[in-house]
């Protein structure tokens, strides 16, 4: 399992993720299930609004932020015997450590909770995500609250965290089949990579799956405004030989970290053009960002 760390100018933005494997079975449910309105989450310096209940199955959320200090919202489910305070302490430690200490902090976090992903958004837009939830209790949280100066920097225990109670209901899914699938996996002899199947289209869902072994992972999408940017430029940025990011780091979309084997059905507001797909999650082996090991890709939306 791996940590995820973003510090200083290089420090990227937090990532979330979602649960569920929106494959053929989920698509079959979509064909016969009625549409369900998304549940709204609004985060900002003036407050945090999130649903308290939902029906089991494919649950859709719509995320909006009113501040640049918020906008990285995800879901987690605590493991038996773990308190909300203990989870918060372990999450803060992940963002406050480096190297071997960061790897151990990430392992402790994954032992405390299952991460279901979520969504990234920025001021002026909204993003959607769908997670497959079983009956039980979950946490909806603002990840940036746990990153110190990256976010609002509230005192421990004052972070935006709300309880979501999921009750049993007939399974439904609100979205049609995705136009593209992005899979995070370890390619033998090569390293961690993002694989693409299908084509990204504006207004169509995107399915993200974490197939990394024992490694949490995320998918962060940034628009690329310069047509000359290549994947070599992205690698140079993560190698710290390029001083500024070759993508618009202020406009992030995608999903925060997902536990291994989890997937997310995302509906980010993608416009036609090129996007950098990256991850700031750090490797369980050396605590370097997985993107520095080559897990990044330029995706075209058309």
CATH class held by domain 180-301: mainly beta
Task: Specify whether the backbone of 7 is left (phi greater than 0), alpha (psi in -120 to 50) or beta.
Answer: beta
pTM above 0.95, yes or no: no
pLDDT at 175: 53
Q: What does the alpha-carbon distance between residue 129 and residue 296 come to, in Å, rounded to a whole number?
A: 21
CATH fold of 24-167: Immunoglobulin-like (2.60.40)
Return the pLDDT at 169. Answer: 73
**Contact (Cβ atoms closer than 8 angstroms) between residue 199 and residue 188:** no
Dihedral (Cα; 272, 274, 280, 285), 10-degree rounding: 130
Pairing outcome for strands 180-187 and 206-210? parallel
How do strand 113-120 and strand 72-78 relate by DSSP bridges?
Answer: antiparallel
Q: Provide the pairing of β-strand 57-65 with 39-44.
A: parallel
Same fold, 24-167 and 180-301: yes
Domains in the chain: boundaries: 24-167, 180-301
pLDDT at 76: 98
Give the model's pLDDT for residue 177. 84
- The series of mean pLDDT values per 10 residues for the chain, 302 residues long, is 37 32 32 66 98 96 98 98 97 94 94 97 96 96 96 97 90 68 97 97 95 95 97 97 96 96 94 97 93 98 97
Query: CB under 8 Å to 10, separation ≥6 — which residues?
Result: 237, 240
Residue 62 has a pLDDT of 98
Cα distances from 85 to residues 112, 159, 167, in angstroms, run: 11, 10, 24
As a whole number of angstroms, the distance between CA 167 and CA 44 comes to 28
């Amino acid at each position: 399992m791996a940590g995820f760390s973003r510090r200083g100018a290089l420090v990227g933005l937090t990532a979330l993720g979602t649960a569920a494997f929106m494959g053929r079975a989920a698509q079959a449910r979509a064909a016969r299930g009625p549409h369900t309105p998304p549940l709204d989450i609004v985060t900002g310096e003036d407050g945090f609004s999130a649903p308290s209940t939902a029906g089991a199955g494919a649950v859709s959320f719509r995320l909006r932020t009113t501040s640049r200090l918020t906008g990285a919202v995800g879901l987690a489910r605590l493991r038996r015997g773990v308190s909300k305070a203990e989870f918060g302490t372990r999450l803060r430690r992940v963002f406050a450590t480096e190297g071997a200490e960061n790897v151990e902090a990430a392992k402790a976090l994954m032992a405390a909770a299952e991460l279901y992903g979520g969504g990234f958004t920025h001021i002026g837009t909204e993003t959607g995500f769908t997670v497959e939830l079983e009956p039980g209790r979950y946490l909806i949280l603002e990840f940036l609250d746990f990153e110190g100066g990256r976010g609002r920097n509230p005192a421990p225990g004052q972070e935006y965290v709300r309880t979501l109670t999921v009750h049993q209901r007939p399974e439904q899914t609100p979205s049609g089949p995705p136009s593209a699938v992005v899979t995070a996996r370890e390619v033998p002899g090569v390293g961690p990579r993002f694989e693409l199947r299908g084509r990204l289209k504006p207004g169509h869902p995107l399915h993200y799956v974490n197939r990394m072994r024992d490694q949490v992972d995320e998918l962060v999408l940034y628009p690329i405004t310069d047509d000359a940017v290549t994947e070599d430029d992205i690698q140079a940025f993560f190698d710290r030989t390029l001083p500024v990011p070759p993508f618009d780091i202020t406009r992030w979309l995608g999903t925060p970290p997902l536990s291994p084997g989890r997937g997310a059905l995302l509906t980010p507001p993608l416009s036609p053009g090129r996007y950098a797909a990256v991850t700031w999650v750090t490797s369980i082996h050396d605590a370097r960002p997985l993107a520095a090991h080559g897990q990044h890709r330029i995706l075209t939306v058309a």
